[in-house]
Amino acid sequence: MPTSGHYTVLDDNNDFQPIETTPLVSHSLTTSKRVRSYTSTFQFSPKRRSLTKTRPFKPLDKLHISTVKIHGDEEQDHDSEGPALSITTLVSPSAASQNDSATWASSSDISQRDSSPSSSSSSRKRRRNLMPSISLTLENSGSVARDHLASERTFLAYVRTSLAIASSGVALVQLFTVASANLRHSPEHRLHTYIRPLGATTVVMGLIVLIIGVVRYFSVQAALTKGNFPVARAVTGFITVTLTLVFQTESGPQAQKSEFTSPIDHVDHGLDPFVVADLPGRGKGLLATRDIEQGERIITEKPVIVAPDHITGSPAALIAKLLREASPEGREAVLNLSYVNFPKDKDPEIDLDEVALAIFQTNAVATSGGVGIFPRMARMNHGCSHAFNAVYTWRDKEEILVVHALKKIIKGEEILTTYTNTKKSRSDRRALLKENYGFTCMCRVCSLPDNESHASDKRLLAITDGYSRFATWGPKNITGIEAIEAVRTIWAVEDEEGYWSERGRLAADAAYVAAAHSDATATRKWAELAIEWYSYELGRDSEQVREMSGVAVKPESHPGWGSREPLEVGGPGQRT
């Protein structure tokens, strides 16, 4: 038991009037005013431990305050917080009769007996009959009610927060799913590669916050009954650390798992979905650092130098001059490119202007104002027929070159374009590439066994013949129906070969035929097909897509509308 205690009585002026007492010793206290309510505080000495209880009381002039018993573990550690104790205090008028005094003495005896392990039930019954008595417990009814209310409000805040976080994740996924569908082939389409994982992670975090809120609510409710109010530092720290780790892991483009064995040693986490790598037997090339979706833009590049189509002076001197005027970074990037067909009577260590010219002739790409060098695009190697998976185009208005994925490219796969018209036989393709670029093509198509290569050559020849037949519609050698049938034949053979290049242009030409014959339904369907494939090859934001979008909405707006006799020519896959 504690050695001493302090009691205070609160009078009408809210003044605390203290007395000291030793357990089981009665004391008398006279107040200056009638006591209407009081607050009793018990305090351990020297360690602090307080218990309070407020209760109305009858007006009295004098009070006897006597400690009868302290309920609780007498050997409890006084340094711990929130003891589960109660004090029974007897209060009576000081003018009590001698019998009352005898009663007080008797109550002390009862307290002593009750405080021992051998106290009997009859003694506890006699103690309960003493009047008036008050049980002072750790719980303050007003404060605890407020604590419970605060705990409930905190739980509701957890619920609202978790719903907000989870809803944000769902909204992110839905928003960018719709955006990806509408802008599927624009640069913004790449956002879906990391928005979806981020949205899913956000939803999971919302559920975690809700679970934490539920656990926190019940733990606080249980603690309040014991006089404790656990702090939330651990919960707050856990949420903060978890969110930080998750967002560091999930934000940014995500490289998805693939069964493709990738030779990539370093992944660039910048905007480019590729790295330049040394490839055995092929020099340098571009390898995808992640899955690249069909129609996704891979490269946007301005030329380092542009030479005019026609020059009057020395080509080598002109290219050397243009390189000197370029930025140091651009000049270095150009001079690091490979070259072929260097003059045999020149020394590359001495004739640097000739080296620059050879690089230019090997890597230059036609633009609207001449011929330009694009160092990043120039790192793409060649593939024939269905082997190449990316196409490039020059945009006049923006004066940029863009490269788009013609097919889905798997992480670690080489990004290939085509250097020439590959709708030729293998022998013709190889001869052309050897003459102009100095290598014998060993792409996936050129490496086919002879029988498969022969079948591929036949399909490519059929595609070329189909284009030739379709072109005869212009001079009216075939009807519109025959022209559309030629387009369908080309499309079917291309599907068999896996040759998907130039399909946007083919569908747009078919839309022109349908519009010329005033077939609105066929015009709309071919225009929609042209939009799809132009988007893959040229980009969703290309001028060709905008033109075909207008035709798809209003077929009669096509410039060629009604230029031939009315005729139902039919749409894609539709036989007439």
- Give me the pLDDT at residue 201, please: 81
Cα 161 from Cα 165, distance rounded (Å):
6
Please say whether the beta carbons of 460 and 497 come within 8 A: yes
- Give me the pLDDT at residue 145, please: 65
To the nearest 10 degrees (0 to 180), the angle between helices 328-335 and 352-363 is 80
Peptide bond just before 132 cis, omega within 30 deg? yes
148-158 per-position pLDDT tens digit: 677 778 888 88
> DSSP for 366-387?
EETTEEEE-TTGGG-EE--GGG
The helix (H) or strand (E) run that includes residue 417 is strand 416-417
Cα 241 from Cα 207, distance rounded (Å):
16
Q: Which of 337-341, 501-505, 550-554 has the lowest mean pLDDT?
A: 337-341
Task: Provide mean pLDDT across the span 358-369.
Answer: 91
Strand partners, 401: 301, 394
Q: Tell me, what amino acid is at 519?
A: D
pLDDT category at 81 given cuts 50, 70, 90 is very low
* Residues 6+ positions from 85 with CB-CB distance below 8 Å: 42, 49, 51, 70, 71, 72, 76, 137, 138
Q: Tell me whether strands 381-382 and 400-405 are parallel, antiparallel or unpaired.
A: unpaired
pLDDT category at 573 given cuts 50, 70, 90 is confident
Residues of the chain above pLDDT 90, percent: 47
Task: Flag whether pLDDT at 79 surpasses 90.
Answer: no
Closest Cα partner for 409 from 260, 531, 189, 299? 260
3 state SS for 461-524: HHHHHHHHHHHCCCCCCCCHHHHHHHHHHHHHHHHHHCCCCCHHHHHHHHHHHHHHCCCHHHHH
223-259 per-position pLDDT tens digit: 766 666 565 666 667 767 766 665 555 444 333 333 3
Domain ranges (residues) in the chain: 5-138, 143-250, 291-419, 450-557
Q: Which of 39-43, 447-451, 510-514 has the lowest mean pLDDT?
A: 39-43
Name the architecture of domain 291-419: Beta Complex (2.170)
- Give me the pLDDT at residue 224, please: 67
Cα 423 from Cα 96, distance rounded (Å):
121
